[in-house]
Structure formats: C-alpha cells, structure tokens
Chains A and B, each alone.
Chain A
C-alpha cells in the first residue's frame, strides 16, 4: 500500500470507494506517484519517465481505432480438455480471469478504422492469465485473420503474453502452427499483417505469430524474447547485458522495424496502412 492510500484509508471521514486504488497510482518503473486520470489521459504512459504501462483490449481499441468500432465475438473452444489442475483448477483460473477482465479470453478482436482505413485489430490482454496462448487465443487469432480477409483489410495485432498456456499442455503448443496457418492466409490474400509487440511478449507467442509481421513495431521498453531471463541466466551463468530483450535492444539487433511511442502509434499504423492496404474497389 502506498503512503497516500494509507493516509487516505485512515481518514474515517472519507468514504471508501469501490476501487480505492484508482485515484492515485505509482509508476512501476520510476516510482512517481501519478494521478490515475492523468496517467490514463496520457495513454497509460508515465508523465515523468515515459514508462509504457500495460493496457487491456478496451483501452487499446479506444486508442487505436476511430470511434464506432465493433468488438468481434470471441470464438468458443473446448474448455479444459486436459481436466487440468495445478495448485488450482484451470476452470477456476479462467473464472477469476473473466471476473477481472471484460472479455472471455486473452485475445479480443475489433473491426474498425484507423484514421479512416479499415482494419481488424486484435489485442492480447496480459491481465487475462498473463495473455497466454491457449486454444481460445489461437482460434481468436484465426478468426481475426479470416475476418480481415473477408473484409479485404489489414490484420493488426498487439501482442502481450508470457507464452503458451501451460494449463492446456500440448494443445497450447499446437496453436503455434495453427496461428501460422492464418498468417500465411493473410499473405496469400496480399493483405498487410502488422505486429505491435507490447510488454511483455515472450515464449511461444513470440516464436509464432508475433514475429511474422510484414512490419514489426515495438513499444518502448517492452520485454520481447523467446526464453525467459532466469532460464537464460541459469543456463549460461553469465550476467545479461543491459537492456537485454527490450524493444530498443531488438531494434539494434534487427528484429523489429521500429520502436514507436504510444502517442505516435495510431499515426504510424495509419501511415503504414496507407502504403500497404488494398484500395477499396469502387
């Protein structure tokens, strides 16, 4: 608890709001106390250090799509086919994630326009079980790509995931080739597939659709990689270089086209679509 919320909660005269921590928040990077409304108005980027906070699908749609977009339904998939439980049952984890986020799984698509150019935008929400890719994410990705093909428009995806969803075992791993079938279909249709890598994008998601974009954009400071840093450290027993697996590091190593500040993201996408998107047949 921050000192501010401590003080605020100890003031008996103040009624506790339903969401007591939404008024002020601490930047996870520089520790600055930020007025939550200012933070949100600044696209969830810290006004002091420019740290790009993690945001959900709804905020992303609002930031990148013109008003009047349509959220597409999340396809239904078999639930818990392995009857999986670790310290908790998988369905209980799903239930908790659904209570904490507005959409049924970690990837949600919307159909809309980006500065007037039609596009399907998919967004992974890290808050939903770490954005992890299970069958629902794989199926939503395929649906998003298929919808883009049906609409003859680009598919833009904002990735955020720790990797494959372990609770679905091998079935989550199989989403790597499955989503790659979809990126190939987009390519065959001559439609742009643009990836926006956001913090964090790792594991099987990076090793499939997140690295297959025609254009690869990364948000500043985003952690992007295949293997986890602890795994790498345990394997090679060496200190990791400064900025390792961060967006700027990937850019320097030729893995992404550009690192784009969130305030410039919509404009950048619009510019790219202007070059790459199929012209509407009159």
Chain B
C-alpha cells in the first residue's frame, strides 16, 4: 500500500474510488471493468503529469518519502555476495553508515552508504541515517582498504545530515567529515557516488567527493535543508518551499550547474512505486561510470577528481 503525499491527493482519491469499485464488483454480476479501466487510465495520466512537473519542494517530499527505497533495498536488489564490514577501530560501530565488500553485476566493489531505516526499530538502529564521527571514520577505513586492494568505491548517499549531538561534537564530527572528504580525494581507485534521496550538507559530501556523482531523478542535494534555510535566511519556518526553489536543490538544477554528472531516471510516480526498476536503472548507471573510469590510471583518477572540484567556482 503506497502512502500518498499531500500533493498527490487527487490521485489518492481516484485510487480509493477504484478500490471501492473493485470491492463492489467482487462477487457481484455487475460489469464495471470498463469503468475501472477508465479511472485507472485517468489516475495513471494524473500521476505522470504530476511527476513530470514536480516543484523543488515536492521533490524534497518525494526524496524523503517513508517508502522510498533505501541503501538496504538497493543492496538486496542489485548487489550480491555482500560482506558487511563494521566499526571504526577507534570508538564504535555506527549503523547510520553501512559498508562492505559487494558485487555489482559481476564487478567487485567497496560499497559504502547511509541507511535511514524503514520502521521505528530500524530507524533508531540506523539513527535515521544521520551518522556520527565513527560512521565517517569507518567510511575512511573502508576507502583506504579499497585503495589497498584495488577495488573501486561506490557510495550511496541518503542523509538529512550528519548527527548534531553533544557526543558527536566531542568526538570530532567536523574533523571526521573533513577527513572523510580528504579520504575520497586521496583514492587512487575509481569512486562513483549516487544520491538516492537526501544529500544533506557536509554529512553527504563527506562520502560524495567522487570522480562521478549521480542523482536519482527525484533526489535532492543541498548545503542546508530547505527548512533550515527558511529559518536562518527568512527568519520564519514557513518558507521552506521558497528556500528549496532558491537554493536549487534538484537533480535537474545540479546537472545544469555541472555539480553532478548524470541523472538516474525513476519510474513514473517515484522510486517508491517501483523499487526494482529504479534499482536496475541505478545499477546500469553505476556500471557505465565504473566502466569509463576503469580505463584511467591511478594518477589520472586522482587528478580527474581534483580537477572536477577545483573547477566549481573557478572562472
């Protein structure tokens, strides 16, 4: 059962009527198939039209949809032979960032990504995808291991941001993020990052300073949440929609700004309506980038990544 977002209300109403008709038709002689067919066609049309012109704020809501596929879903759908690797060897194991050895369409990679969780217990376990310093230090450890054994790195980014808490600060949240970004830039193996849902600020870029950066069609990537920008810049909590538009947070905006390299298409109605198809598109896109990067020498890989970020903001 898909839960509908506010702006999908007309579609939700149509779908409810279709369900009602089906229930009525069940066990009766009434022929209402053609009526159902008509309504279903109308509903599909509305869904397509709505998703063809989502506003940045609507995309933000899709990106955060509770049923949107997360890291663990892609892990199940497109990766095989996963060997999870845990811990930062310094303090602890942070389940907000999952990592390990994995195989993607026959290609062995080091996989690292945020996991938000899908119900209350798993959300608590994964701290809603907001990592602490030990999460980033684990990412550093795994990136260095990937380099040592010549494995390309794939990161899946989905976080509202790094965790803001007393202990996170005491254990050096800022330093952990800075070092994780540095570890990305130091990699002499190919690295491809994909933003799955939310790319929230420093907590996202820490594992997204990659050779190639992809975004799912309805994901967002931003320096601060639209709500945060609203409260700081407009000094009110109700300008998040304006902030989302002004800050240019969508995949389409970021491709135009040359901050990302490609957009991974989502099925009509968003990834949560068809996780398998979305996952296949993601696997294909990751595979394409990894194949291209496989031709680079280690020195060229480092250089390409450095040049990519040096160019942002240079005249």
Our verdict on whether A and B bind, yes or no, reads yes
Q: Quick one: which of B139-177 are within 8 Å of A by CB? A: 162-166, 168-175, 177
B-contacting 9-mer, from A43-51, A62-70, A177-185, A268-276 = A177-185
Given the complex, which residues of B lie within 8 Å of A244, measured CB to CB? 166, 169
Which of B79-87, B117-125, B221-229 interfaces with chain A? B221-229
Whether B178 contacts A174 by the Cβ 8 Å rule is: no
B234 touches A208 (CB 8 A): no
Q: Flag the segment in A7-15, A16-24, A28-36, A83-91 that touches B.
A: A83-91
Most A C-beta atoms less than 10 A away, residue of B169, B209, B309: B169
CB of A172 within 8 Å of the partner chain: yes
- Which size class do A's interface residues fall under? 35 or more
Interface 0/1 of B271-315, CB less than 8 Å to A = 000000000000000000000000000000000001001101111
Asked if A240 and B313 make an inter-chain contact with CB atoms under 8 angstroms apart, the answer reads no
Bound Cα distance from A166 to B226, whole angstroms: 10
- Please give, as numbers and ranges, the residues of chain A lying within 8 Å of B249 by CB-CB distance: 169-170
- Do the beta carbons of A226 and B257 come within 8 Å of each other? no
Query: Nearest residue in B to A241 (C-beta to C-beta)?
Result: B166
CB pair A142 B223 closer than 8 Å: no
In the bound assembly, the distance between CA atoms of A82 and B257 in angstroms comes to 9
B308 nearest CB neighbor, chain A only: A177
How far apart sit A254 and B90, CA to CA, in the bound complex (Å)?
A: 14
Q: Which residues of chain A are within 8 angstroms of B174 by Cβ–Cβ distance?
A: 206-207, 210-211, 225-226
Q: Please give the distance in Å from A251's CB to the nearest CB on chain B.
A: 12
Q: For chain B, residues 232 to 246, give those with C-beta under 8 angstroms from any C-beta of chain A.
A: 232-235, 243, 246
Asked if B259 is at the interface (CB within 8 A of a chain A CB), the reply is yes
Assembled-state Cα–Cα distance A210/B177 (Å): 11
Residues in B neighbouring A184, C-beta threshold 8 A: 182, 185-186, 306
Contacting residue for A174 out of B186, B206, B224, B259, CB 8 A: B259
A109 contacts the other chain (CB 8 A)? no
Specify the chain B residue showing the minimal Cβ separation from A137: B313
Chain A residues with CB below 8 A from B181, complex form: 176-177, 180, 207-208
Q: Mark A133-145, 1 if CB is under 8 A from B, else 0.
A: 0111011001000
Q: Does B310 contact A178, Cβ atoms closer than 8 Å?
A: yes
The docked-state distance in angstroms from the alpha carbon of A136 to that of B170 is 31
A228→B209 CA distance, assembly (Å): 24
- Closest residue of B by beta carbon distance from A184: B185
Least Cβ distance of B264 to chain A in Å?
Answer: 18
Chain B residue contacts of A86, Cβ below 8 A:
229, 233-234, 243, 246
Contact A211 B233 (CB under 8 A): no
A82 to B185, CA, bound (A): 26
Residue B129 at the chain A interface, CB threshold 8 Å: no
Rounded to whole angstroms, the CA-CA distance of A56 and B223 in the bound complex is 26
A112 contacts chain B at the CB level, 8 A cutoff: no
Q: Known contacts being A170-B221, A181-B309, is A85 close to B246, with CB within 8 Å?
A: yes
**Chain A residues, Cβ within 8 Å of B247:** 82, 84, 166, 169-170
Further contacts, 18 of them, CB under 8 A, given A164-B224, A170-B222, A170-B247: A81-B257, A86-B229, A87-B233, A138-B312, A139-B313, A164-B223, A166-B232, A169-B223, A170-B248, A171-B259, A174-B309, A174-B313, A180-B181, A180-B209, A208-B202, A211-B179, A226-B162, A236-B165
